[in-house]
Amino acid sequence: MLLPARCERVATSLHRTPSGDTLPTLSSLDKPVEGRETTKDDPLSGRPSTSKKDGNIEKIGKLIREDRRLSIRGVAEITGIDKECVRQILHESFNMRKVCAKVVPKLLTPVQKESRMNICADIINNIDTDPGLLDTVITCDDKIRKCGSGYSKSDGGSEPADRSELPALPSTREKSYGAV
């Protein structure tokens, strides 16, 4: 058991540096903070500010409209914004998703919609002007027969009624030579 006088000597020796200076105790550090009334220099509580500002959103939108092949990392390097903030801006503000490390729109842009409508209208017009157009389209299912097996209607051949008459498909397994 330590006597009170000896406890005081041990405590004072613990609060001194090798050069003899005294170190501040925890209670002495708390005293000035307890009496403070202003909070001007204190850090604010809560989450830190993010890079999701209107200017940054517009900058990222402009980059993506110029080159849709940019990755999130590429946009982050160009703008100097954190990758996660760039991802959130693209996801929330532009409704874009990540596909194979590239960002693509979930919905088509107006330019893409118009292009697809024009292509479909051209196909419909071609079918209307030439009713036999679809007869020239060749479709093929590799599981049933090989393309060019001699049964196309343009050759005048007729398709066999029995599948046993179809040529055999090559085996998908290759022979292994030697020990495995």
pLDDT of residue 152: 45
Whether residue 138 is predicted with pLDDT greater than 60 in this model: the reply is yes
- Name which of 13-17, 53-57, 61-65, 158-162 the model is least confident about: 158-162
pTM comes to 0.34
Whether residue 168 is predicted with pLDDT greater than 70 in this model: the reply is no
Report percent pLDDT > 90 for the chain: 16
Among 114, 112, 92, smallest CA distance to 103 is for: 92
Q: How many CB atoms lie within 10 A of CB 70?
A: 19
DSSP 8-state symbol, 38: -
Whether residue 165 is predicted with pLDDT greater than 70 in this model: the reply is no
pLDDT of residue 107: 72
pLDDT of residue 146: 47
- 98-122 pLDDT tens trace: 666 555 556 777 888 899 999 999 9
pLDDT of residue 68: 80
Alpha-carbon span 100 to 51, nearest angstrom: 25
